[in-house]
A and B are shown apart, each in its own frame.
Chain A
Amino acid sequence: MAVVVANFSLHWPSDFVFLLGRAFLQGLLSTLAALVLGAIGAVGLLALSRRFETVVLLPIAVPSMALILVFFHWFPQWRGLTAVVAAHALQAAGLVAVALSHLVRERHGAALELALVEGCDRRRLWMCAVLPQLRNEWVSMALTLLLVFLSSFSIPLLLGGANAATFEIAIHRAIRLEGNWGVAAALSLGQWGLLFIIVLLAHRFRSDEPPLVVHRTWSASIASRVGWAPAAVVVLFAPIAMAIVLLSGAARGAAQIRTAGLWVGTDGTALWIWLVQGTLATAVLGALLCVGLLLAFSLIEPSARTRLWVSSYVAPSVAITGFATLAVGWGSMPSMTLDCVRVAIGSALLFAPTIWRLRWNARLQALDGQVAIAKSLGGTRWMVARRVLLPQLAEVGWWSAALTGFWLWGDFSIGAVAASRPYTLAMTAKGLAESYRTDAAALVTVVALLGGALMYWLLARENHVAR
């Protein structure tokens, strides 16, 4: 590693300006499309039961291979920038719709009721009242989405075609195709700089309104007059399409997998057991490392400024993180153990910031008062950790392990970079999809999702026990 590092010098690729323009175009179009679809979807969600929220969140919650397979099956000719934009929009529209519908329900219920009493129709209500009032939220949401889409990896990797649509893909190609660490490092620095600026902007537009309070005025009658159920189709399309493609593909996939010889190797070993073993080992180790990382960070009692920094920290580059994990056991002959350790470490580093933002930070903030009291009463750091923090972080710890485990069952991004060969179900599904064995890929993806769901259920169950 030292030799490689010592030999490179930072330099931009010759097509940097083209790449920058293309990455921004992709990010902006994806953001715009996700916001438009999300806004329409929110109109639909407001007229429906809140149970639908879980369904429309599926595209963003499950590994991206499920959505990618929809494109491989239904739009096999569609590749390139527009395909990446469409996939990103379908993936994030549900999240936008849920966030918007929450804001409308919980912040503006009373105002909407008043407007309805005054005789305002639905169109004017949305165009003149709801959307303008959410200006800051729109901008904040747009910047957050732009952040995510600019650093996207899995979708551009499989749907992007020959031109890199993100810096991540360009970094991946610089190292994979050319072994050019100088270009990769320069691109990575450039990407971090860009993302950092966007994070700062996103904070500037963050809403200063108090925590959400559910208005009692929100009722079924308001819902039916503000919302319009058919509009939910735009955010229900992706989860329904995913379910159809995965289930129908899986049914046909068994035969395709037999032809491909995936079940049994030439030496008679059952290959699928080997794949499940690799996936399970990576998921468990990755989940433990991710929770360990977050727990260690929490127990050092980080200052408010440090927490803010971590909260606004953008997850590191998948490609750079993946390649950095190669430092573990550098020079050793490859083995599944080494692959598993590298992928688990890389995934923990990638997922930890996201999980911190999702729940961990809020949980730790809620314990600040107890920690302060315990210390004023003479509690040592060890006592505070053992008696206050650990017991009350156990719940969020199990949940984090469950979520990381679920994601790792279906994620192939770090493995595509850090593993010596495909040894997990998700990496196998990626290989099958790339060679257009899409039914077999669907079956393997379904098995991965079921395995992930089972692991989530088992660990989330421990969460309740801990509680």
Chain B
Amino acid sequence: MKARPRSVQRTLLLSIAAVAGLIGWLVARPSGQAPSDARPRLHVLAYPSFLASWGAGPKLAKDFETRENCKVEFIQADDAGQLLAKLAAFPADVVVGFDQFSLAGARSKGGWLDHGVTLAPGLGGASGSAFGSDRSFLAYDWAELGFVYRDGEVAAPASIDDLLAPAFLGSLALQDPRSSTPGFQFLAWLVRQKSELTALEILRRLQPNVHSYASSWSQAYGLLTKGLAKMAYSYSTSPLYHRQMEEDDRYRFASLGDRPPVQVEYAAIAEKSVSPSLARKFMAYLVSVEAQKIIMTGNWMLPVVRAAAEGSDFLQLWREPDTTQLQSVSAADRDRWLKIWAEGRK
């Protein structure tokens, strides 16, 4: 094979041109924005369903960008349970999506700024409880958890013991508590209701009825909507989504007991934030009535500002949780309970 020098020159020139063009393109348009976009940027870390184009995140970002003349850029964790691990590698100004259990880890890790939002009155329900918010972590939505199913496919369970019946064989889509916050909510609720020893026994007996432990809520719920599982562990607000967005009235919510698990979601400002003042404005915006309405119909959760739910179907689901339903968990308990779960699955 005899090569022509012209070909080599051509190869080198093309390569250099490609590299130069690519670098120019990337530098000029880092996120699909015009080069002249010099607006301040706010980096928000959240979980997939919050950031999906049909979720609350993009709508909140658009509204906030208009109000503050800034640019909101999102960072996506695989699930809410993985926010801290993601934050370790990808710095962000605001983290959205802790719940009362992952909050314990975030608190013990430290590194959060005062969000600057006044917590009462009006924030929270009639009691102004603020859903467990403090100076670092601000609650922005909440909902009860239970099992969502389609009417006519299975009988509604009223307790955890009902779920052990052979009628539910291979039909429950649950979440992996190691990676998913609703998954840990279920585990924590089970342990607290029944004691650790009994919980282990129930998990073992429940195993044949579990279709799968999905790594995130959206995966587990996808199993239900796709018809692969008959029940998914989800929120009391989920049937509202199907009714309002898909005009599908078949979805039902089964609450297990009088004091079902409640998930409250929190946002916080990272200590390493490069735009703390903009981040504080975002936190204040999150609990404004306008943003709460967006979260209600985008994230399909109940707002923490009751006024945002007035006049909507969401208000019918408002059963304000007591403090025991908002209890967190210590790191040692969390590790021990996860071991129980792993043991129960064997």
Contacts and interface: CB of A to CB of B under 8 A. Distances in A.
Interface of A: 4, 15, 76-77, 79, 161-162, 173, 175-179, 260-262, 265-267, 269, 271, 273-274, 277, 281, 284-285, 288, 323, 326, 331-337, 340, 390-392, 394-395, 397-398, 420-422, 431, 434-437, 462, 465-467
Contacts of A420: 75-76, 90
A255 to B, nearest CB: 14
Contact of A274 (B11, B22, B32, B51): B32
A391 to B, nearest CB: 3
A290 to B, nearest CB: 12
A398 B11 contact: yes
A11 to B, nearest CB: 15
Interface of B: 1, 3-5, 7-8, 10-11, 14-15, 18-19, 22, 25-27, 29-32, 41, 43, 48, 51-54, 58-59, 61-62, 65, 73-76, 78, 81-82, 84-85, 88-92, 176, 178-179, 211-213, 215-216, 218-219, 221-223, 225-226, 228, 274, 342, 345
A421 B81 contact: no
Contact of B62 (A15, A267, A323, A435): A267
Contacts of B53: 260-262, 265-266, 271
B7 A391 contact: yes
B30 A177 contact: no
A262 B52 CA distance: 9
A336 B32 contact: yes
B3 A421 contact: no
Contacts of B75: 334, 420-421
Given A421-B74, A422-B76, A179 B26 contact: no
A180 to B, nearest CB: 9
Given A266-B53, A334-B91, A436-B225, A288 B18 contact: yes
Given A281-B25, A284-B22, A436-B228, A390 B8 contact: yes
B14 A392 contact: no
Contact of A466 (B11, B89, B90, B274): B11
Nearest to A1: B89
Given A337-B30, A421-B75, A436-B222, A465 B10 contact: yes
Contacts of A260: 52-54
14 contacts: A176-B82, A260-B52, A261-B52, A262-B53, A269-B32, A284-B18, A285-B22, A288-B15, A333-B73, A335-B73, A390-B8, A394-B11, A465-B7, A465-B10
B19 A332 contact: no
Given A77-B228, A177-B178, A434-B218, A334 B213 contact: no
Nearest to A261: B53
A464 B308 CA distance: 65
Nearest to B342: A15
A285 B226 CA distance: 38
B66 to A, nearest CB: 10
Contacts of A421: 51, 74-76
Contacts of A265: 53, 58
From B74, B76, B176, name the one whose CB has the most chain A CB atoms within 10 angstroms: B76
A179 B1 contact: no
Given A288-B22, A466-B11, 4 more contacts: A177-B82, A265-B58, A332-B91, A391-B4
B32 A436 contact: no
Nearest to A77: B228
A333 B85 contact: no
Given A162-B213, A397-B11, A334 B219 contact: no
B18 A177 contact: no
Nearest to A277: B32
Contacts of B179: 173, 176-177
A7 B73 CA distance: 31
Nearest to A387: B5
Given A267-B62, A281-B25, A337-B30, A466 B219 contact: no
Nearest to B32: A274
A435 B218 contact: yes
A158 B75 CA distance: 22
Contact of B30 (A77, A336, A395): A336
Nearest to A341: B26
Contacts of A434: 215-216, 218-219, 222
Given A390-B8, A397-B11, A436-B226, A177 B27 contact: no
Contacts of A179: 84-85, 88
Contacts of A161: 212-213
Contacts of B222: 434-437
A434 B76 CA distance: 15
Contacts of A77: 211, 228
A102 to B, nearest CB: 24
A334 B91 CA distance: 7
